[in-house]
Structure 1
Amino acid sequence: MEIFQQFQRTIIKNYLLGSFIAVFGVGSVFIFQTLSLKEDEFISMGSIIFLSIVTMFGFEFLVYRKHIRPMKDVYIRKDPSIDLEVLVTAYNQAERFPLLTVKRILLPHFLGLSVPSTLLTVVFIHEGTLSIPYSYILYAWFGAFLVAILHALIEFFLTFKACHHLQVDLIRKSRTWYGVDPSNQSTLFISLKQKILAASLFLALFPILLFSLASQIRLSIADSTLLVDYWKWAGILVLIITVLAFYGAILIFKNIEGPVMELVNRFEKVEQGHVAPSLNTYTDEFSHLFSGFNHMVEAINLRDQKNQLLLDQFFAVVAGTLDARDPYTAGHSKRVAEYSVLIARQCKWSLEEIDLLNKSALLHDIGKIGIRDDVLLKEGRLTDEEFDQIKRHPAIGEEIVKGVQLTEELLPILPGIRHHHERIDGFGYPDRLKGDEIPVFGRLIAVADAFDAMTSDRPYRKGMPYEKAFSILKEGRGTQWDKEFVDAFLKRMELDAGNIRETG
């Protein structure tokens, strides 16, 4: 309730300030300084203004009560339960309130002042209380309209600021009670270009138009024959000022639009994953914005580096934990990951693909967690039933990793886990895929996994020499393993062996 009361106090204070500047500060001074009035006519004119202002306030207050009602409905209720629809309506009304303020000033405010003033002036002129021409009433309407626009412009910008705190509170209530942000459903958009053009044009033209109107009245009193030449001169002057004001407003807007659009584009790139700092070439307030953006980018990059490090450590720990379950295969997952990366580099994969492949290879045997110890750790030959259980580990591994609810970026690691025991000829498991039906991660890891399995020691056999394992891979290329990946692995291993011999 306190927030709403503060909002109303601010709106009333702003309204009184704007009214004082526009109605009393400009309008009244214009009337009394432009017209040549006698002492008793001053009193009559003051009476007209006073009665018109009272009427204006009355009409405007009625419209204001209607406009404030949706927000008031939220804050005057003693029952804490407020419908979401009521909250959204209140937020939308608060968002539109600056525009509603303009409408109030250009309709009930302007007409509530001008219509009574016109009627009272006609009566006073007819009765001889005021000795001014009826044509001055038209001048007064034009002047009053100019003053009303000035007042509306002042109120528009002041009300924007006043509505901010109320909107924030309504969003907080809606989020807390219903988990909905009404600002996300907003369709109201008033461009910065419109604001700058409207404000610049009017503020440039207002003084010259008001001065022209005052001069018109003065010349009509002194010598009406000068009016034709005066308006030729004044019309050209108004046209020049309009063009200059419009061009100046466009220049100001372009000066603001450039850095704003650059920031918008930078944020869109950040949203797409391209997190890079921006060159800060500005020397005004935008310099602080770009510095803040660059600090944000640095923080995001630092956080991503830490998250990546934690993620890599997590995968390594999981792989190590799995290997620790079977001391005879300790280090298997890490070695398979190293061989897989070696093959991918030889095939010139991108860094992003290699990183995902490494993660997939580290977890390729995680499904063995779901295999009984008496089967997994058996030292002798497995029975057919026991081997069938072993063949379930790729599918179990996929389900385990799926349960972690991976981000979209990490989903490509799943096929490598599920399909690293498929064969090119279709006799692998778990899905008996063949050829290119096997996902690329599965085909590549299969080569690395087979090589490490053949060259590692087991309790029931000694690991075979590298040359024999190379020979088996060659024999199985195109039937059991992918030709490209076998050739890439053998070539890379041959190159590494040659480098070792040269350095030795």
Structure 2
Amino acid sequence: MQLYKSFLHQLIRNYVIGSLIAVAVVGGVMLTTTVKFSYIEGIRLLGVIGGSFFIMLTAEFYYFFKHLRLIREALQDQDAGLGKLEEAYLRAHRMPRQAVYRIFGPHLLGLAIPAAGVTIWMIQHGLLQIPLFYVWIGALGAIMIASCHAMIEFFLTAAAIRPVVKELRRQALNRYGVDFSLEGHVFTAIRTKFLLSTMLIGTCPLFLFSLAAQVRIEEFSELMAQDYWGWAGIILLLGVGFAYIGALLMTQDVNRPIRQLYKAMDTVKEGRFVQTSNLYSDEFSSLIAGFNMMVRGLQMREERNRKLLESYFAALAAALDARDPYTAGHSLRVAEYSVLIGQLAGLNEQNIDFLHKTALLHDIGKIGVRDNILLKEGKLTDEEFSQVKAHPAQGENILRQIEPADAMAPFLEGVRSHHERYDGKGYPDGLSGKDIPLFGRIIAVADAYDAMTSDRPYRRGMSSAEALDILENGRGTQWDPDFAGMFVRYMRANEGQLKEAAHWV
């Protein structure tokens, strides 16, 4: 597959060029400019470096192709299963860290151990006339060079895997309808990347210079060399401290707006569309401005959806009430009374909203009751009344047909249970006391009050005072004593205001 070949060539090119620069250029330059040796010794050292470089490449490419095997199989196999595609997707994301492990494993050890071992042997057998401690200085230099090489390879590999990750996601989506995502999983934290990278950038040249200077000073004066690490150690310590403080400040400066955005996203996920403060003067300012613009868009869409949903509920209630001109507005009034009781009971804003919508639809099941029964002016027969009694369960069944199901779930219990009695003699389930769902107990009070005070063809509605007396007497038997009591006390206390409002209406 062309994508895999391109990916492979890019990784190999990165490794070979990086290794040549690290070993041949940086290591060679330090070696030739720092240590004095004869022509034949130079040839021998180049041979040591060349042989060690070959061992390093052999070991490194073995693990390199081992790490790539799964990705190659997933990209080249047109019938790769979902599990293999997902495993390859995760393996690709681990490639940058594996590049670091390879450089500190087969790369560094495959070069340093053979080179150090052969060099020590040559020194002991008189083939090289250099002090033995130069080998240890060289080993320390190799570690520093490998660290910088690992940092560069990490970022180059992170860039190289992006087309591969995109292709694996595309195949999973096209073949299995699954879109891979890390779901916020972090393989390498930004704080770690910034802190280590900036520390290496600040300290690596300083360490390499100190090691090279040690060799040069040794050649000029043994006395100066003995005192060298006294003051060089202080300089190195100051340099490392300065690099660490600079790296820490830079990391915090980058990490701060990222944490702020994470916190804001968590707030949005909870359903609270709160914009975050924009306190930055760099590219993060544009990023946060874009986030806030997105939140405003979500707010507008949420408000629009809320209004559409409320209109939908109100339209259903109005359509139901329109079947019987004598009960027009019944659902709206029951919703208002229910909200009043919910507020008196201290329900939170979300539950008040759910209660309002439930009350609007509490009689939706009457759509299934025939007109000759629903609009009958006289007394219903037992069979006719049994059909009317079925409307709470029918209402629940109707709402269960509406998608998405989770959006209707908060309203089902209240619609089904609004004709249950507190003493257990209600319908459809004969529930009693606190076993009756909360919304059902509240709507039962509001429904009864509006039914008693509304006019019917066969009777006039009773006065509010009479209806409140009946509610008072039915506390603990027909209705929840707490909710009925709250409603009665409120209505009696505000009777004068309600009459005045009705007069103006």
Q: TM-score, normalised by structure 1?
A: 0.88
User: For residues 411-470 of structure 1, what are the alpha-carbon distances to aligned partners after superposition, in whole Å with 9 as ceiling and x for unaligned?
Assistant: 343332122223344433223334444333223322332233234343434444555545
Number of matched pairs:
501
Which stretch shows the higher mean deviation, 48-57 or 295-304? 48-57
The residue number in structure 1 matching 2:386 is 388
The residue number in structure 1 matching 2:282 is 284
Do structure 1's residue 2 and structure 2's residue 9 form an aligned pair? Answer: no
Specify the SS of the correspondent of 1:282. coil
Which stretch shows the higher mean deviation, 289-298 or 425-434? 425-434
Conserved? CA contact 2:93–2:187, under 8 Å: no
**Correspondences of 1:306-317 after superposition (within 5 Å):** 306-317=304-315
The residue number in structure 2 matching 1:378 is 376
User: Residues of 1 paired with 2:478 and 2:59: CA distance?
Assistant: 89
The residue number in structure 2 matching 1:486 is 488
Q: Which amino acid aligns with 1:487?
A: R
User: Residues of 2 paired with 1:85 and 1:431: CA distance?
Assistant: 48
**Match 2:302 to one of 288, 301, 304:** 304
The residue number in structure 2 matching 1:197 is 195
**Match 2:419 to one of 398, 421, 427:** 421
Conserved? CA contact 2:82–2:176, under 8 Å: yes
**Match 2:80 to one of 79, 82, 102:** 82
User: Residues of 2 paired with 1:457 and 1:90: CA distance?
Assistant: 72
**Correspondences of 1:26-425 after superposition (within 5 Å):** 26-38=26-38, 42-77=42-77, 80-118=78-116, 121=119, 131-179=129-177, 183-184=181-182, 189-345=187-343, 349-404=347-402, 411-425=409-423
Two-structure CA RMSD over aligned residues (Å): 3.1
**Correspondences of 1:432-471 after superposition (within 5 Å):** 432-464=430-462, 466=464, 468-470=466-468
Percent identity between the aligned chains?
44
Conserved? CA contact 2:413–2:439, under 8 Å: yes
Cα deviation for residue 235 of structure 1 reads: 1.6
Cα deviation for residue 483 of structure 1 reads: 2.5
User: For residues 244-302 of structure 1, what are the alpha-carbon distances to aligned partners after superposition, in whole Å with 9 as ceiling and x for unaligned?
Assistant: 22233232333333332222222222222222111111222322232222122212211
User: For residues 355-389 of structure 1, what are the alpha-carbon distances to aligned partners after superposition, in whole Å with 9 as ceiling and x for unaligned?
Assistant: 22211111011111222333223333211111111
Conserved? CA contact 1:342–1:489, under 8 Å: no
User: Residues of 1 paired with 2:185 and 2:277: CA distance?
Assistant: 33
User: Residues of 1 paired with 2:63 and 2:89: CA distance?
Assistant: 19
User: Residues of 2 paired with 1:27 and 1:224: CA distance?
Assistant: 25
Specify the SS of the correspondent of 1:325. coil
Q: Which amino acid aligns with 1:10?
A: Q
Closer/same/farther in 2, CA of residues 316 and 249 from structure 1, 3 Å limit: same
Conserved? CA contact 2:392–2:415, under 8 Å: yes
Which stretch shows the higher mean deviation, 430-439 or 229-238? 430-439
Cα deviation for residue 320 of structure 1 reads: 2.0
Specify the SS of the correspondent of 1:411. helix
Which stretch shows the higher mean deviation, 199-208 or 124-133? 124-133
User: For residues 337-371 of structure 1, what are the alpha-carbon distances to aligned partners after superposition, in whole Å with 9 as ceiling and x for unaligned?
Assistant: 23333444455654333322211111011111222
Conserved? CA contact 1:212–1:234, under 8 Å: yes
Conserved? CA contact 1:95–1:163, under 8 Å: yes
Which stretch shows the higher mean deviation, 485-494 or 149-158? 485-494
User: Residues of 1 paired with 2:164 and 2:9: CA distance?
Assistant: 12
**Match 1:496 to one of 490, 495, 498:** 498
User: Residues of 1 paired with 2:132 and 2:363: CA distance?
Assistant: 98
Closer/same/farther in 2, CA of residues 488 and 440 from structure 1, 3 Å limit: farther
User: Residues of 1 paired with 2:445 and 2:126: CA distance?
Assistant: 110
User: Residues of 2 paired with 1:348 and 1:57: CA distance?
Assistant: 73
Closer/same/farther in 2, CA of residues 244 and 387 from structure 1, 3 Å limit: same
Cα deviation for residue 184 of structure 1 reads: 4.6
User: Residues of 2 paired with 1:122 and 1:435: CA distance?
Assistant: 91
Conserved? CA contact 2:402–2:408, under 8 Å: no
Closer/same/farther in 2, CA of residues 287 and 385 from structure 1, 3 Å limit: same
Cα deviation for residue 114 of structure 1 reads: 3.5
Conserved? CA contact 1:356–1:410, under 8 Å: no
User: Residues of 1 paired with 2:185 and 2:441: CA distance?
Assistant: 51
User: Residues of 1 paired with 2:329 and 2:182: CA distance?
Assistant: 51
Conserved? CA contact 1:343–1:489, under 8 Å: no
Conserved? CA contact 1:365–1:393, under 8 Å: yes
Q: TM-score, normalised by structure 2?
A: 0.88
User: Residues of 2 paired with 1:120 and 1:466: CA distance?
Assistant: 106
Q: Which amino acid aligns with 2:58?
A: G
Conserved? CA contact 2:418–2:441, under 8 Å: yes
